[in-house]
Amino acid sequence: MTYPTAPQSQPGEPYVLTDAFGRTFVSSAPPASGVIPFEAPVSAVQQCFHDQAPLPAPQRSSLSPVALVAVGAGIALGVGTALVALLLSVAVVAASVAVAAMSLTVCAVVLRSMVNSREPRGRYRR
């Protein structure tokens, strides 16, 4: 069984490299030892054409630095207000849970004292 060997190209002679995605690149560097590049004529390199218009250059913000600081402060105030509202809602829920727990505790204590009482109550009292 014979193994392919790397072609011996002359220094400065271009050859075509193809990556895993199928893109081709023309290189004038000598191939690395032990690597067998895909040899193709230079004319076989296809140019990439597409029918989309190029993207316009990104435009810079037209706001002054003072306006940017004001917008940032407004956003910070809005976020702070939202966080305070969330904290207050958690506090209200915690308070309502505490009130419910206290009322259940009071009801349980009253019922226990009524059940454990020795003297009759209500209609059948003597």
In the beta sheet, which residues pair with residue 121? none
Q: Residue 108 is encoded by which pair of tokens? A: 């349980």
**Confidence at 1, pLDDT banded by 50, 70, 90:** low
Q: How far apart are CA 79 and CA 108, in angstroms?
A: 44
What are 62-120's pLDDT values in tens digits?
A: 878 899 999 999 999 999 999 999 999 999 999 999 999 999 999 999 999 888 887 76
Give the helix ranges, DSSP H, for 41-126: 65-116
Burial of 16: CB neighbours in 10 Å, binned 0-12, 13-18, 19+: middle
How confident is the model at residue 48, as a pLDDT?
63
What are 22-64's pLDDT values in tens digits?
A: 788 777 666 666 555 555 555 555 666 666 777 777 777 687 8
How confident is the model at residue 60, as a pLDDT?
73
Average pLDDT over residues 9-21: 67
Give the helix ranges, DSSP H, for 26-64: none
How confident is the model at residue 2, as a pLDDT?
62
